[in-house]
Amino acid sequence: MQIVILVGTMTGTAQLCAQEMELALDDGETRVTTLMMDGLDSSVFSREGMFLICTSTYGQGDVPDNARALYEDLKAKRPDLSHVRYGVFGLGDRTYAETFNFGGKRFDEILTELGARRVGERHMHDASSGVLPEETALEWCQEWLAKLREQVAAG
Ligand SMILES: Cc1cc2nc3c(=O)[nH]c(=O)nc-3n(C[C@H](O)[C@H](O)[C@H](O)COP(=O)(O)O)c2cc1C
């Protein structure tokens, strides 16, 4: 299985999480490619594989700057993504109560709208919880992979 991790980040925390997930998931049988979202557009979803969106939240519930072009391109071009399966590991901070984890939520919503199928629940990391996101990412991605394998096996 091929997994593509797409990273939206401002200060590198999501990238750290993606690195941990790549290390955990890439075992020879499952191959992982991690791409920063900078410079990507919606054509990235024509790659083969399953997608893992790993993104934080900025501004007032916005996607990070490096994720903006990809997010806007999805909304503008609206490609048919019914062949896509994806998961979302979102980062945010509950101090921003009104917009908590909206970066991941925005990607989740547009991907679903375009016909893609989410595997597992959208994770919402809370920076104010004191729990290290990279540790949670490690556990979360293993559960996600197990669900992904079940769904792929089920067809
Ligand atoms: C200026 C600023 C705005 C933020 N806005 C939000 C927000 O609206 N909602 C939220 O859940 N988190 C918000 N956050 C928290 C970040 O998403 C969180 O700290 C995250 O772990 C940062 O990850 P990164 O280093 O990958 O960008 C904000 C953080 C900063 C510094």
pLDDT, position 28: 87
Any atom of ligand 1 within 6 Å of the Cβ of 107: no
Any atom of ligand 1 within 6 Å of the Cβ of 99: yes
pLDDT of 150 > 90? The answer is yes
Any atom of ligand 1 within 6 Å of the Cβ of 126: no
How high is the mean pLDDT of the chain? Answer: 97
| Protein residue with least CA distance to atom 18, ligand 1 | 92
Tell me which of 15, 36, 57, 122 to substitute to probe ligand 1's pocket, judged by most ligand atoms within 8 Å of the beta carbon: 57
Residue 80 CB neighbours (<10 A): 10
Any atom of ligand 1 within 6 Å of the Cβ of 56: yes
Any atom of ligand 1 within 6 Å of the Cβ of 96: yes
Helices (H) and strands (E) in the chain, counts: 4, 6
Q: In ligand 1, which atom is closest to the CA atom of 55?
A: 26
| Protein residue with least CA distance to atom 8, ligand 1 | 61
pLDDT, position 155: 78
Amino acid making up residue 31: R
Q: Which pTM does this prediction carry?
A: 0.98
Residue recorded with tokens 């399966």:
85
Q: In ligand 1, which atom is closest to the CA atom of 57?
A: 17
What is the C-alpha R_g of the chain?
14
> What gap in Å lies between CA 52 and CA 140, rounded to an integer?
12
pLDDT in tens, 37-82: 999 999 999 999 999 999 999 999 999 999 999 999 999 999 999 9
